[in-house]
Structure 1
Amino acid sequence: MLGNLNSRQIENVLYSLIVGRIGCHADNRTYIVPVTFAYDGKYIYGHTKEGMKIDMMRKNPMVCFEVDDLENMSNWRSVIAWGKFEELKTSEQRKEGMNILMDRVLPFITGETTISHSLRDSHKNTVEAMQGVVYRIELTEKTGRYEKM
């Protein structure tokens, strides 16, 4: 059976996952890229190095965000949301954003854009050690679909 997710189910999907995809568009080019994220009920928080997605979102902050939870080809949930990118620039904003992100993804951290294993034991040091771009996307519209067999 195919169907639409209700608001509660959409929120559940967004809270339960840590990898999604950002779709951005600038200079007549569309770019879709996977990202690690944390959701707080209003914003998607992320961290990355400088690069194409940040350049494009700075030019055009209106983005699309997608997540999917795939059990198999007949059992899945997908959420698509639209919102506005905002770079967190002040030390206080960056720290708040990184705390939200770290609280959610700390158990899964392994990548270069997150943190080295040696800093796992010190959350305070972890947040202060982060370099790169900290951002959030305010989600303004959400829709979801599912298939269940």
Structure 2
Amino acid sequence: MMIRTLSTLECTKMLAANRTGHLACAKDGQPYVVPFNYAYADSHLYAFSLLGKKIDWMRENPLVCA
């Protein structure tokens, strides 16, 4: 398997074709990965969440990845 950087067009197509992603957070050296639903429109990614562990962790450490 070859790992490569996706082009902007490839990223856009992937975001538009899917509705679920994964959010990775960390706190005190402990990783936490959860699925989330999103919508992609007009070059913007929209997601929402109820209060809980991931929101608390993101507030403490906003360096997250999806």
TM over 0.5: yes
C-alpha distance in structure 1 between counterparts of 2:11 and 2:50, whole Å: 29
Instruction: Provide the alpha-carbon RMSD of the alignment.
Output: 1.8
1:102: which partner in 2? Answer: none
Question: How far did residue 30 of structure 1 move?
Answer: 1.1
* Residue ranges of structure 1 left out of the alignment (5+ in a row): 66-149
Q: What aligned pairs does 1:3-82 form with structure 2 within 5 A after superposition?
A: 4=4, 5-40=6-41, 41-42=43-44, 44-65=45-66
Superposed CA deviations along residues 100-139 of structure 1, whole A, max 9, x for unmatched, are xxxxxxxxxxxxxxxxxxxxxxxxxxxxxxxxxxxxxxxx
Q: TM-score, normalised by structure 2?
A: 0.78
C-alpha distance in structure 2 between counterparts of 1:7 and 1:49, whole Å: 30
Bigger radius of gyration among the two: 1
Higher strand content, 1 or 2: 1
C-alpha distance in structure 1 between counterparts of 2:40 and 2:57, whole Å: 22
Aligned length: 64
SS at match of 1:64: coil
Any runs of at least 4 consecutive aligned residues in structure 1 with deviations exceeding 2 A, and if so which? 1-5
Percentage of pairs with the same residue: 34
Question: How far did residue 3 of structure 1 move?
Answer: 5.6
